[in-house]
Amino acid sequence: MTEFEPKIITFLCNWCSYGAADLAGVSRFQYPPNMRVIRVPCSGRISPKMVLAALRKGVDGIWVSGCHPGDCHYIEGNYYARRKFTLLKELLEFQGIEPGRIHFSWISSAEGVKFAQVANEVISEVKKLGPAKHFIKCAPKEIAAA
Amino acid sequence: MINYTENIRKISGDLLKSGKVDVVIGYKKGTLPGINEPFLARTPEDAQKLVWDSQCRLNLANYLTNRKENVGIVAKGCDSRNIATHIIEHRVTREQVTVIGVPCTGMTDKNKLRELAGGEITALTEKDGIITVTSRHGEKTVEKQDLLQSNCANCLHRNPVINDIPCADPVPEINTARNDAEIKAIEAMSPADKWAFFEDLLSTCTRCYACKNACPLCYCPTCFVDESRPQWVGKGDDPIDVRTYHTLRAFHCAGRCTDCGACEAACPMNIKVRLLTGKMEKSCFERYGWEAGLNTEVRPALDTFTLHDPEEFIK
Residues of A in contact with B289 (CB under 8 A): none
Nearest by CB to residue B232, choosing from A49, A85, A97, is A49
Would you tell me how many other CB atoms lie within 10 Å of the CB of residue A45?
A: 15
Nearest by CB to residue B305, choosing from A79, A91, A103, is A79
Both B251 and B157 in a single domain?
Answer: yes
The residue count for chain B: 315
- The Cα of A64 is separated from the nearest Cα of chain B by a number of Å equal to 10
Is A146 in the B-facing interface, judged by CB distances under 8 Å?
no
Q: What is the pLDDT of residues B40-69, one digit of tens each?
A: 999 999 999 999 999 999 999 999 999 999
Would you tell me how many other CB atoms lie within 10 Å of the CB of residue B112?
A: 16
A19: left (phi over 0), alpha (psi -120 to 50) or beta: alpha
Both B16 and B134 in a single domain?
Answer: no
Both B231 and B298 in a single domain?
Answer: yes
Question: Would you say residue B311 lies in a domain?
Answer: no
Q: What is the pLDDT of residues B217-274, one digit of tens each?
A: 999 999 999 999 999 999 888 999 999 999 999 999 999 999 999 999 999 999 999 9
What is residue A44's DSSP assignment?
Answer: G
Alpha helices by DSSP H, chain A: 17-26, 48-56, 77-94, 112-129, 141-145
Is A22 in the B-facing interface, judged by CB distances under 8 Å?
no
In chain A the domains, ranked by start, together with CATH numbers, are 8-145 (3.40.50)
Count Cα atoms within 13 angstroms, Cβ side, for A92: 23
Q: How far apart are CA B228 and CA B224, in angstroms?
A: 9
Both B138 and B186 in a single domain?
Answer: no
Both B182 and B250 in a single domain?
Answer: yes
Asked whether the predicted pLDDT for residue A139 surpasses 60, the reply is no
Q: What is the pLDDT of residues A75-115, one digit of tens each?
A: 999 999 999 999 999 999 999 999 999 999 999 999 999 99
Nearest Cα to B278, choosing from B198, B183, B186?
B183
Both B142 and B6 in a single domain?
Answer: no
Question: Would you say residue B315 lies in a domain?
Answer: no
Both B69 and B154 in a single domain?
Answer: yes
Nearest by CB to residue B311, choosing from A80, A82, A134, is A82
Q: How far apart are CA B259 and CA B157, in angstroms?
A: 10
Domain count, chain B: 2
Nearest Cα to B81, choosing from B248, B302, B298?
B298
Q: Do B192 and A96 touch (CB under 8 A)?
A: yes
Question: Would you say residue B157 lies in a domain?
Answer: yes
The residue count for chain A: 146
Both B161 and B216 in a single domain?
Answer: yes
Both B126 and B212 in a single domain?
Answer: no
Nearest Cα to B281, choosing from B272, B271, B273, B290?
B290
pLDDT of residue A2: 79
Question: Would you say residue B309 lies in a domain?
Answer: no
Tell which A residues from 25 to 64 touch B, by Cβ distance under 8 Å: 48-49, 52-53, 56
Q: Is the peptide bond before B230 cis (omega within 30 degrees of 0)?
A: yes
Between A and B, how many CB-CB pairs are < 8 A? Answer: 107
Best of B180, B224, B251, B275 to disrupt the A interface by mutation (most A CBs within 10 Å)? B251
Task: Kindly state the percentage of chain B with pLDDT values over 70.
Answer: 99
Task: Tell me the one-letter amino acid at B2.
Answer: I
Q: Are B210 and B267 in contact (CB under 8 A)?
A: yes
Asked whether the predicted pLDDT for residue A142 surpasses 80, the reply is no
Question: Would you say residue B59 lies in a domain?
Answer: yes
What is the pLDDT confidence band of residue A15, given thresholds at 50, 70 and 90? very high
Q: Do B311 and A103 touch (CB under 8 A)?
A: no
Residues of A in contact with B303 (CB under 8 A): 80
User: Looking at this predicted complex, what is its ipTM?
Assistant: 0.91
Nearest residue of B to residue A53 by CA position? B232
Question: Would you say residue B314 lies in a domain?
Answer: no
What is the pLDDT confidence band of residue A144, given thresholds at 50, 70 and 90? low
Q: What is the pLDDT of residues B82-113, one digit of tens each?
A: 999 999 999 999 999 999 999 999 999 999 99
Question: Would you say residue B275 lies in a domain?
Answer: yes
What is the pLDDT confidence band of residue B213, given thresholds at 50, 70 and 90? very high
Q: How far apart are CA B315 and CA B308, in angstroms?
A: 15
Both B126 and B263 in a single domain?
Answer: no
- The Cα of B74 is separated from the nearest Cα of chain A by a number of Å equal to 33
The range of the structural domain enclosing residue B63 comes to 2-107+148-169+178-303
pLDDT of residue B127: 87
Nearest Cα to B64, choosing from B35, B94, B102, B36?
B94
pLDDT of residue B99: 96
Q: Are B132 and B108 in contact (CB under 8 A)?
A: no
Q: Do A87 and B280 touch (CB under 8 A)?
A: yes
Strands A61-66 and A8-13: parallel
Nearest by CB to residue B194, choosing from A80, A95, A104, is A95
